[in-house]
Amino acid sequence: MPAKLTMPTLGGLANPKFRYVDRDHTNIADTFKRARRALARAQQEAQSAQQTLELEPEGATVVTLPQRAGRRSA
């Protein structure tokens, strides 16, 4: 069986948008700020996407069900 030639994907270092920044020009504080902003944005989008559920809407009538024979309430 002949060997299959596998080419690298455009991820990582082969990506044309990748920019190398050496350690003298890297600001870890800015990196963490950017990560925190992205996390906060994702959480805000996730929370705004969820719908609220009203368990007891205004003006709802609550009806108690009759108990079965032989059962006691706790």
Dump pLDDT digits (tens) for 13-68: 777 888 888 889 989 999 999 999 999 999 888 877 665 556 667 777 888 888 88
**Buried b / exposed e along 19-32 (16+ C-beta atoms within 10 A):** eeeeeeeeeeeeee
Half-sphere exposure of 21 (CA within 13 A, CB side): 7
pLDDT for the residue numbered 52? 59
Strands (E), the chain: none
Under DSSP, the state recorded for 70 is T
Q: State which H helix or E strand residue 36 sits in.
A: helix 28-49
